[in-house]
Amino acid sequence: MRTEPFARADLSFDAFLGGRLEIAQPRAGYRAGIDPVLLAAAVPAQAGETLLDLGCGAGVAALCVAARVPGVRLAGLEMQPAYAALACENAAHNGAEMEVLTGDVAAMPDALRQRQFDHVIANPPYFDRGAGTPAADAGREGALGEALPLADWVAAALRRCRPGGHVCVIHRAERLADLLAAMRGSVEVLPLIPRRGRAARLVLVRARKGGRAGLRLCDGWLLHEGPRHAGDGENLTRSTASVLRDAAPLPFCR
């Protein structure tokens, strides 16, 4: 766990959403990639609604939602004090208001336990440390190593979501069965396909709390063009580039 604040020299300042956001991230430690941006794009938020990001890190996912939907009121919960402070700084730097609390998803501060939100999002740690090697950096390990069971993350998100609101989670495709077992309400699954003909590595799972519709398995979202990476270009599909660069929403079943 990273407790001491980051020195400015230890940070990089990275553009997200085509420069709409500038996010400070540690040069060594957990660094956000495209996963929180895709998660944010899947949130069906509207102006005036509330959003809670569980395990918000440096605030990328929540701030991406706010950049796409001005007027969304943001809150975040982050266990590592250094990252919680960074999320506050990133929100202020980007002209957003975001209430960030330091605490554990398994034992939330009272200030959150008394509230519910229109949207609750999470990008839980992906890796089971019972079957892997911890990261050398304490902050990176805190973000990537699964200490709290995935089912507990989902249960916490559902408790903080108001009836009729949405819970949205991004995770590894191999954990889909665990996610579906924990989710409640009307559930949609969107596989994220790296390239045509390849298996999904990640899934987005979105549930409407209290909904009664059956499970919907949506057509996979293709991330990259072509059968393999060629040259120095990132060769994103046009739709994915629009999500990552232009703050476009990421639709589920159409």
**pLDDT tens track for 20-79:** 999 999 998 899 999 999 999 999 999 999 999 999 999 999 999 999 999 999 999 999
Domain boundaries, the chain: 8-246
Topology classification of domain 8-246: Rossmann fold (3.40.50)
Please provide the DSSP assignment of the chain as one string: ---SPPPGGGEEEEEEGGGTEEEEEESSS----SHHHHHHHT----TT-EEEEET-TTSHHHHHHHHHSTT-EEEEEESSHHHHHHHHHHHHHTT--EEEEE-BTTB--HHHHT--EEEEEE----EETTSSPPPSSHHHHHHHEE-S-HHHHHHHHHHHEEEEEEEEEEEEGGGHHHHHHH--SEEEEEEEESSTTS--SEEEEEEETT--PPPEEPPPEE-BSSSS--SS---B-HHHHHHHHH-----S--
Q: Mean pLDDT over all residues of the chain?
A: 91
Q: Is residue 234 very low, low, confident or very high in pLDDT (cuts 50, 70, 90)? A: confident
pTM flag (> 0.85): yes
